[in-house]
């Protein structure tokens, strides 16, 4: 699995501080040369949260997530489903979910009005 993909898929599940992320990646068997490129990858795919100095996945990177990614456990996959559902509901670009939701109540309310 490419190092960049590993970082993206980990950040999709939760926010990480850089030492925590490095620790997790080392447990996964990351190579030393990959560790050196972490800062560059974080600049590309993550945003830094100044309150706690953690990193979260940029919203536009959620499109790169593979639900069946081999690094995910079954619990991770279930958590990801919830996260992606929230992400699509909150995203202004999620026209399919918000569009169908907005039509439902208006269609139901329309005929019942005199």
Which residues are paired to 55 by β-bridges?
16, 48
User: What global pTM score does this model have?
Assistant: 0.73
Please report the pLDDT score of residue 36 as a whole number.
83
> What confidence score (pLDDT) does residue 92 get?
61
Domain 3-89 grouped into CATH 1.20.5.510: no
- Output 21 or 95, whichever has higher pLDDT: 21
User: What does each C-alpha distance from 77 to 20, 31, 56 come to in angstroms?
Assistant: 20, 25, 18
CB 41 within 8 A of CB 7: yes
List Cβ<8 Å contacts ≥24 apart for 80-83: 80/12, 80/13, 83/12, 83/13
106 has pLDDT over 80: no
Burial of 43 (0-12, 13-18, 19+ CB in 10 A): exposed
For 38-95, the pLDDT digits (tens) are 999 999 999 999 999 999 999 999 988 998 898 899 999 999 999 988 887 876 654 4
Could you identify the residue written with the tokens 């997530």? 65
pLDDT tier at 109 (50, 70, 90 boundaries)? very low
> Mean of the pLDDT values across residues 88-113?
47
| Among 7, 12, 3, CA closest to 76 | 12
104: confidence class by pLDDT, cuts 50, 70, 90:
very low
pLDDT of residue 4: 92
């Amino acid at each position: 699995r490419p190092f960049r993909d590993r970082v993206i898929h980990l950040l999709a599940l939760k926010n990480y501080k850089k030492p925590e992320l490095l620790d997790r990646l080392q447990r996964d068997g990351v190579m030393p040369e990959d560790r050196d490129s972490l800062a560059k990858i974080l600049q590309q795919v993550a945003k830094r949260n100044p309150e706690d100095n953690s990193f979260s996945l940029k919203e536009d990177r959620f499109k790169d997530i593979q639900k069946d990614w081999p690094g995910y456990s079954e619990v991770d996959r279930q958590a990801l489903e919830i996260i992606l559902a929230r992400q699509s509901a909150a995203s202004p670009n999620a026209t399919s979910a918000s569009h169908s939701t907005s039509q439902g109540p208006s269609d139901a309310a329309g005929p019942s009005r005199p």
